Chain A
């Protein structure tokens, strides 16, 4: 059984977000790029499953749509423990285009389980995983917070409002994962970093796909009013403000 983890290359989550070119481009000056946090959790879970030999997972591959500039992030995934990688050599323009490129790259059906993070921390679309599944006509399960393999079958836990469901879907499938899928992201060890250097990143040239959306402009969030401080000895004043000024209680 083979697992594919789709990874996105995003600015470190502590980045001060700024834009250039008349607010149409993200300003990447001095920005650290990392594996999208949810994709990193997905990768961690995939590797945990592979470590347990009873699951029968033979390999974990990562896939990314992007230029060579993303290779440090791909190498990081390999250092953490992925066996190999696929990079589709295209500028990611929107979720539809990215999902279409990924679908084209893996349409031969070599992967049994495909994991995607619930969203990327830059575009927050929550769309690529389910789109990929639709392109491939695979089942997809979203809001997945648990994945196990028992007797060759995938047992999936998904979050629903106020609870959880345990379910199965036949392979191949796409699981779109979120918080809970793994406890903490795995960190690369020195041995892993050394080994990653010789692991294979297969580069695939893109297919012709047009994006369905186009970014017009970025807007900074509305600045908030300055904080009004209330004396710690007199929280009654806070309740008064919430009731009569903000009118939220």
Chain B
């Protein structure tokens, strides 16, 4: 019996979310009185793999196979299913991100394992096995019982604190036989923006809405983001108008984010927007309308015009940083 954690890598490197997953998996293994096994697929160097041990991975399975260079949902599912069976995994933990969403549901059918997706806490109980997950787009949470012998959990990002432990992990190289005919995804072209902080990785997000008035007014908002080491985002009307790219749209139908700090500038706070940001640890709102619903979701607020407030805020951040 074991808890299996699948950790994705980005060009051979792990991210904070990988360590969150490992920390979470280690805790679940503790609860079950078993040990945690991490699975890495791709070209990751041993010293990078070893980092997973610092968060509680006892055994790290290192799987390299050129057929898995691109994400093919069927090939990945078959691979992880085989490893899970070999390791006697009772709980499989996967990130609730693009890759996790491509694999975990298929794995659920393959292994006939109940899935709890977008889970943001440790299991509430083990027997029955109950998980806590997002529901109604952040307007509620649901306690859901996973009724099968094997369970799959996809963990929401930034929902679990890192837990460092003594590192005594062993790395084991593993291989699986993948039928090349099974790999049906043919990637023709990859377009990557480099050097830009990703919205889903950012601990701080600065987001603009219609209150910014025009696409040309984004300069100060980007400057504030730069000063704070934050990613930029926007509300739906802004991306619909084409003021900002759709990848920046946060909200129910856009990206769901959960940073430590979300600064909403000129965003009124429609239910659909709040649905995408409600898991943020702190929300700051800057808006001209003191009755805007965004202030009900925010812990800190400034009633004022973005064009006037942002420059002052930038100066204040610069001053603090220069101290």
Contact = CB atoms under 8 A, between A and B. Distances in A.
A37 B253 contact: yes
Contacts of A14: 270-272
Interface in A108-126: 118, 121-126
Contacts of B188: 155, 166-168
B119 to A, nearest CB: 11
B299 A246 contact: yes
A229 B114 contact: no
Given A168-B186, A229-B301, A239-B313, A127 B108 contact: yes
B299 A232 contact: no
Interface residues of B, number: 103
Most buried by A among B148, B203, B312: B312
Contact of B204 (A133, A240, A249): A249
A124 B319 contact: no
Contacts of A248: 203-204, 260-261, 281-282
Contact of A218 (B97, B142, B192, B300): B142
Interface in A207-249: 211-221, 224-225, 227-233, 235-236, 238-243, 246, 248-249
B72 interface: yes
B252 A238 contact: no
Contact of B117 (A19, A126, A230): A126
Interface stretch (B29-37, B41-49, B98-106): B98-106
A219 B304 contact: no
The 8 closest A-B pairs by CB, nearest first: A232-B304, A130-B105, A212-B114, A163-B192, A127-B105, A134-B109, A142-B102, A17-B139
Interface of B: 10, 70-74, 77, 96-98, 101-106, 108-110, 112-118, 128, 130, 132-148, 154, 184-194, 196, 198, 200-201, 203-204, 228, 240, 246-247, 249, 252-255, 260-261, 270-272, 275, 278, 281-285, 295-305, 308-309, 312-313, 316-317, 319-320
Given A212-B148, A218-B143, 12 more contacts: A96-B108, A124-B137, A130-B106, A165-B189, A167-B187, A169-B186, A224-B283, A229-B303, A231-B302, A235-B302, A239-B316, A248-B281
